[in-house]
Every structure is written in structure tokens, then in C-alpha cells.
């Protein structure tokens, strides 16, 4: 249910011709009202001071050698970016992070849609269930890492205990740290647990905008439930899915807490953000840290743009 005729709709006074038709004398010159600007100014200043200025600073400094142990600060062009590309740890972390993104975005989107559809229908205790489901999203990543370490732990973890009780394994298994893909998948599962509730709520908000008439019409046309989901629900919740995917992209590209708590600095799960931390605050090579942050920001923008381009559609009822 896209909106191709939108361009033809009148939207502004210029479009309607109202302004053009009005007599010049009748046009009242509007006095400049500073109030809206004043009201917005604290927030605008806040954003400029805490987001834009540091962003510009990061971009500029990423082209400088800013190393507390190797002063003075000096321009080195693309030197920081070159050294990052040559770093085996950064390359491994980049590969790991792409896996985090792939697994995290796919799983959180699918599960978010499933949860949203489940929650769409009213039932007793629905509000309570929504409140409970949102809890993981509200928890800090470090806390989640600690909680889940009690599940994955190879010596005394809950999962080993359950699997042993069910006679599915005869001795405790080590889940994290051996295979790279297995380690990343299990760590990302923890992050999916955190970000999926927000995805579900975003999709649920879109779902609730869909008029029920459309489903009735689809039913009259002989649509099965599955066909109605594919041809009515999915196309109409694309804005919600797109926003959910963008937030998942941002969260997974910036994953730090869960891998760090669950797997330390091991290369089997280390993320790009962990490398940014090590480079900046352990090695005190802030220039390279800025450069890596900039690359992560660029990757976030590109992936978010792709999601918006290929998933988002303007929907109007």
C-alpha cells in the first residue's frame, strides 16, 4: 500500500496557489518571533556541543598522530587508517563485527516481527507481558553479559546443568571460546535478547496502524492468513521494520559489553568497538582511535542508508 499519488497532492501554499492569488496588500508581513528559536536553543546548543563538535573534532583528529606517548600531535594524512588496515587484530575484529551485525539484525528483526504479531492481539495480561519483555532492553549490556555468563559458563553454567539433567550431554561442554562462529553466535544471542524488545515495539506500533478493513477485504478475496501476512501485513509494517533494523544495525556495529564480559579480549569474539577501546584508552593512541571510530560511523551510516533504501517504504492509509 505505497503512496505514488502523494506527489500530486497539494502540500504548501505555493502548491495551492493561495499565496499567489492573494492581493499583495492583503499579505501581512509576519513579525519575526524569537520565541521558538529561544525554546529550541538549549537543545540545539546541547546537540552542537555534545554531538556535532566532538564529531567534527573526531574527523579532523583522525588525520593526525595523537599519541600521548609519542608527542607532539602532527598531521599524518591517512596514516592512522593505513595502520588500522594493517592491524591483524582490527581486521579480525571487523570480520567478527560483521558477523555480529548479520546475526543480530536478522535474528532481532525476525523475532521482533514474531513478538509484535503475538502482542498485536489483545489478551489478558498483555500490558504486563509488554512491560516484562522490555526489561532486557532496559538492562545495561554489562549486566546482561554477567547474567548470561551464568548460563554459558562451562564449569557451572545453567545450560550445562539443564542439558546434563536431560541426559542430552554426558559431561559439561565449553560453549564460548573455541569455535569463532559458535562463540560469536552465542554472544550475539545475548545482544539479540537485549535489542529485540525494542524491535518488537517498533513493529508493533506500525502493526497497530493497519486498518482492520484491509484484512477483512483480503479475507473476502479469499486470502489465507499466511497470504494476508505476506501481502498486507509485511508491506504495511515496512517503516517499522526499517526503523527496527536501523537500531539493530547501530547496536550490533557498536557491540562491546557482551563480547568483553563473556569472552574477554579473545580474537574469537573481539569487536571493533573493543579495539577502539584498546587503541584509545589502553595504548593511548587517540588518533588511531578517532580513525577507527570514524570508520565505524561511516559503516553505520552506509548500512543504515541501505536498510532505509531497500526496506523502508512510505505508507499512508
Partner 1 sequence: MLSERRGVRGVVGVSLLSCLALVATACSGGGSAASTATRGVTINVALAIPSPPKASLAAFTKSTGITVHWTNIDWDSLQTKIAAAATAHTYFADATDVDWSRVGQLSKLKWFHPMQNYVDTKSLAADMPQMTSFTVGKEVVGVPFDASFLTTTVNKKMFADAGITAMPRTMAQYTADLRRIRSKGVVDHPLDIPFAAAEGLSTYWYQATAAFGGTVLDTHGRPRFTSPGSAGYKAAQWMVDAMRQGLVPPGNINTTDSQGTQTEMAKGTVASVFSDYSGNVGSLYDVPSSSTVVKQVGYLAPPGAGGPAPNLSNPDGIGIPQAAKYPVAAAKFIKWFTAADNQAAFAGLDGPDKTLRTYSLPSRLSAVHKLAAKGDLVGASAMSTMLASGTRPVFPGGAPSWYPQFSNAVYTNLHAAATGSLSVKGAIKAIAGTANRLASGS
- Distance (Å, rounded) from C-alpha 206 to C-alpha 242? 11
- Distance (Å, rounded) from C-alpha 17 to C-alpha 15? 5
Residue (145 or 240) nearer to partner 1, CB: 145
Residue (104 or 289) nearer to partner 1, CB: 289
Residue (67 or 105) nearer to partner 1, CB: 67
We find the least distance from the C-beta atom of residue 138 to partner 1, in angstroms, to be: 21
We find the least distance from the C-beta atom of residue 46 to partner 1, in angstroms, to be: 6
We find the least distance from the C-beta atom of residue 269 to partner 1, in angstroms, to be: 9
Helix (H, G, I), strand (E, B) or coil at 285: strand
We find the least distance from the C-beta atom of residue 69 to partner 1, in angstroms, to be: 6
User: What is the DSSP annotation of 52-97?
Assistant: IHHHHHHHHHTTEE-BTTSPSPEE-TTHHHHHHHH-HHHHHHHHHH
We find the least distance from the C-beta atom of residue 230 to partner 1, in angstroms, to be: 42
Residue (89 or 106) nearer to partner 1, CB: 89
- Rounded (5°) CA angle 171-186-168: 30
The set of cell numbers assigned to 57 is 573534532
Applying CB under 8 A, which residues contact partner 1? 34-35, 38-39, 41-42, 45-46, 49, 68-69, 89, 149, 153-157, 172, 174, 176-178, 262-268, 278, 281-284, 286
- Rounded (5°) CA angle 77-82-84: 120
Residue (61 or 109) nearer to partner 1, CB: 61
Amino acid at each position: 500500500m505505497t503512496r505514488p499519488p502523494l506527489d500530486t497532492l497539494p502540500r504548501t501554499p505555493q502548491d495551492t496557489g493561495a499565496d499567489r492569488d492573494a492581493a499583495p496588500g492583503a499579505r501581512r508581513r509576519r513579525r519575526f518571533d524569537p520565541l521558538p528559536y529561544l525554546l529550541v536553543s538549549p537543545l540545539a546548543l546541547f546537540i552542537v556541543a555534545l554531538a556535532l563538535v566532538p564529531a567534527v573534532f573526531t574527523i579532523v583528529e583522525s588525520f593526525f598522530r595523537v599519541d600521548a606517548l609519542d608527542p607532539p600531535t602532527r598531521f599524518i594524512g591517512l596514516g592512522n587508517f593505513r595502520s588500522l588496515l594493517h592491524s591483524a587484530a582490527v581486521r579480525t575484529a571487523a570480520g567478527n563485527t560483521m558477523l555480529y551485525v548479520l546475526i543480530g539484525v536478522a535474528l532481532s528483526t525476525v523475532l521482533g516481527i514474531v513478538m509484535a504479531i503475538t502482542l498485536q492481539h489483545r489478551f489478558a495480561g498483555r500490558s504486563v507481558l509488554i512491560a516484562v519483555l522490555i526489561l532486557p532492553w532496559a538492562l545495561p549490556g554489562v549486566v546482561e553479559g554477567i547474567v548470561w555468563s551464568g548460563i554459558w559458563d562451562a564449569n557451572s553454567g545453567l545450560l550445562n546443568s539443564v542439558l546434563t539433567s536431560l541426559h542430552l550431554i554426558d559431561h559439561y561442554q565449553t560453549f564460548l571460546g573455541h569455535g569463532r562462529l559458535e562463540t560469536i553466535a552465542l554472544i550475539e544471542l545475548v545482544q539479540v535478547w537485549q535489542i529485540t524488545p525494542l524491535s518488537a515495539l517498533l513493529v508493533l506500533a506500525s502493526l497497530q496502524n493497519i486498518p482492520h478493513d484491509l484484512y477483512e477485504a483480503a479475507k473476502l478475496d479469499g486470502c489465507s492468513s499466511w497470504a494476508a501476512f505476506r501481502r498486507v501485513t509485511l508491506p504495511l509494517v515496512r517503516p517499522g521494520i526499517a526503523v527496527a533494523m536501523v537500531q539493530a544495525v547501530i547496536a550490533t556495529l557498536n557491540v562491546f559489553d557482551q563480547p568483553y564480559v563473556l569472552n574477554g579480549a579473545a580474537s574469537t569474539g573481539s569487536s571493533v568497538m573493543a579495539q577502539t577501546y584498546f587503541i584509545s584508552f589502553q595504548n593511548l593512541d587517540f588518533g588511531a582511535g578517532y580513525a577507527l571510530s570514524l570508520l565505524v560511523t561511516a559503516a553505520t551510516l552506509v548500512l543504515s542508508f541501505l536498510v532505509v533504501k531497500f526496506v523502508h517504504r512510505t505508507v499512508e492509509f
